[in-house]
Each structure stands twice: as structure tokens, then as C-alpha cells.
Structure 1
Amino acid sequence: MASRRHAQYSPLAADDIDEDHGMPGGGDLRFAYSPKALDRVPWKSIALAIFLLALGTLLLILSFFIFTGHMEGEQSQAYGLLTLGILAFLPGFYETRIAYYSWKGARGYRFSSIPS
């Protein structure tokens, strides 16, 4: 493999040099934030989390009723409802828990942890 040991480098033009070097507060927008941005409540994400929690709970209850014989249905239907219920319940519970603890002001929980 050939190496480029003899590469000729030249200094950047004065226009291309970044004076701030990307430091916080120096003009780089990646590091610019306001503390109020962390406290914004993502209402749509919270509504989706509550919906997923309710849907998952409903599907889990229906699968339980089919398994115990209180509702008519086949075992395959119960397993399908159980799988869908788990897939809906887990993310709904997780996001709802983060939203609740953020609302209560628990240490380590912020609304910014909820993806919007």
C-alpha cells in the first residue's frame, strides 16, 4: 500500500479559518441551546404514549380473556393479541412513565428525554 509521506500541505486562507473553533457560545449552533428548550412539553408524543399504553392494556386483557375461556377464540388468536399487546404496552408505558416523572419534577427526568 502506497503512503503519501511527501504530501505538500499549505495553510488555509484567512477567510476559511474559524475564529471560534466551535466552542460553546462562539457561534456554532450545535452547542447553542436555551434552558427553556429542555422544559417544552411534547404533547403529541405524550398523547401517543398514552394511546399505546391504553391499546396495549386492552389487547393484553383480551388475550387473557381468550386464554382463560371467558371469551371465545382460538389459542392462535390469543397469542397474536398477546404479542401485539406487549408491543404496544411496553413503549407506551416507558414514555408515559418518563412524562409522569418529568411532570412530578423527579431528579433525572426531563421532558427533553421524550422524542418528539
Structure 2
Amino acid sequence: MASRRNSQYTHLPTYDDEDDDYDGSGRRRNDPRYDFSPKSHDKIPWKSITLAVFLLFLGCLLLLLSFFIFTGHMGGDTSQAYGLLGLGLLTFLPGFYETRIAYYAWRGAQGYRFGSIPDY
């Protein structure tokens, strides 16, 4: 495959006079829509973290109860144990996920931020 290597490139002309992004002094105007600071998204969502810790502990409790019913240490039907197991998994998994993100963000691990947790 032959490639074209001897092409002449030139810069495109810039017209500062006609551009709306510049003020009269030649500097760009400040547009607050594009102001971004990484610390602005580091507000700690306390309600979400509280909900995540509650779901984590509730899930652990329900999983523990289902384990006790399955092993016979506690009275109950196996259908009750399966129900507690399902509810325990449904509450444990999101609680663990959000709590893990909050813990790593608190520790300052790379790639984890409090902005990753939805705020209610």
C-alpha cells in the first residue's frame, strides 16, 4: 500500500474579530457552564452512605437467618429459608457495592470518588 507522504499542510486562519467566544481584549470570555473542578463532585452523600450501610447490615442479617434455617439451628421451613436468602442477596449486594465505593473514596484510592455514589 502506497501512502502519500509529501503533502503540504497549512494552519487554518483564525478570525478573532468575528468569534463570539472572545471579548474585546483578545481573551476568552468566562463561560460558567464549562467550569469544572474535581473537588466540586466530592461532596459526601451522607444519606446514600447511610442507606448503603443499612442495606449491608440488613442483608447480612437475612443471610445469617437463612443459613441458620438451612442448617437446622433455627426452626422454620426451607421455603422460608429460600425467601430469606433471596431477600438477603437483594439487600446485601447493593449495600456492599455502595459501601465499598464509599470506603475506597474515603481512603483516596485511585478511580474512586464520592461523585460515583448517587445522592438522594
Question: Does TM, scored on the shorter chain, surpass 0.5?
Answer: yes
Aligned to 1:110: 113
**Counterpart check, 1:57 vs 2:60:** yes
| Unaligned stretches of 5+ residues in structure 1 | 1-18
Amino acid corresponding to residue 99 of structure 1 in structure 2: A
Aligned to 2:4: none
Moved over 6 A (4+): none
| Unaligned stretches of 5+ residues in structure 2 | 1-19, 22-28
**Root-mean-square deviation (Å):** 1.8
Amino acid corresponding to residue 113 of structure 1 in structure 2: S
Structure 1 length normalisation: TM-score?
A: 0.74
Amino acid corresponding to residue 94 of structure 1 in structure 2: Y
Bigger shift: 62-71 or 35-44? 35-44
Structure number, greater radius of gyration: 2
Shift of 1:28: 6.7
Shift of 1:26: 5.7
CA distance in 2 between partners of 1:65 and 1:54 (Å):
16
Shift of 1:38: 1.8
Aligned to 2:91: 88
Amino acid corresponding to residue 96 of structure 1 in structure 2: T
Shift of 1:32: 3.8
> Taking every aligned residue pair, what percent have the same amino acid on both sides?
69
Aligned to 1:27: 31
